[in-house]
Structure formats: structure tokens, C-alpha cells
């Protein structure tokens, strides 16, 4: 496979950032949050995905599991 200089550069930058933060994901995430807050750009989050109701059979299965769990807890 042919080496891509852009991919190599991105990987080098990623590794440099990780090293600067001792590979601590919380620290890296905080750094990106701070950069985002001070960038002066508007940042938007996509809306959460629509949640579809469970099919009737699945609802009955969940109800049966809850009934069984409640019966087991009585003994």
C-alpha cells in the first residue's frame, strides 16, 4: 500500500498531542473543549436520534422479565 503524506502528518500530530497529555483522554478532551470555547466559531450539536418505540412483542418480553424478576425477589 502506498504511503499517504497527509495521513502520516495527521498521525504525527495526533501522536504529538497524545504525548503532550501523557495519553490521558480526559486531558486531551479538555484541551479540545477549551480550544472550541475560545475559537470564536459557532459550534452546534446534532439533535439526538429519534427513538422508535419497541415492537409489541418486545414490550411483552420486557414486561414478562420484570414480572419474573419481581417474583424471584419475593422468595
**How far is 27 from 34, CA to CA, in rounded Å?**
11
| CA 34 from centroid of its chain's CA atoms | 19
Mean pLDDT in residue range 47-67 = 76
Give the pLDDT band (50/70/90) at residue 68: low
Rg for the chain (alpha carbons), in Å?
24
Tell me, yes or no, whether 45 lies in a domain.
no
Q: Helix and strand tally (H, E) in the chain?
A: 3, 0
Question: Does pLDDT of 75 surpass 70?
Answer: no
Span 1-52, pLDDT tens digits: 889 999 999 999 999 999 999 999 999 999 999 999 999 999 888 998 888 8
Tell me, yes or no, whether 32 lies in a domain.
yes
Mean pLDDT in residue range 41-66 = 79
Query: Domain total for the chain?
Result: 1
Tell me, yes or no, whether 61 lies in a domain.
no
Tell me, yes or no, whether 51 lies in a domain.
no
Whether 54 and 64 have beta carbons less than 8 Å apart is answered as no
Amino acid at each position: 500500500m502506498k504511503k499517504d503524506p497527509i495521513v502520516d502528518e495527521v498521525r504525527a500530530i495526533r501522536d504529538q498531542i497524545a504525548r503532550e497529555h501523557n495519553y490521558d483522554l480526559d486531558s486531551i478532551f479538555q484541551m479540545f473543549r477549551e480550544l472550541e470555547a475560545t475559537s470564536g466559531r459557532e459550534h452546534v450539536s446534532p439533535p439526538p436520534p429519534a427513538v422508535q418505540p419497541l415492537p409489541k412483542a418486545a414490550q411483552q418480553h420486557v414486561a414478562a422479565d420484570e414480572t419474573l424478576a419481581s417474583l424471584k425477589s419475593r422468595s
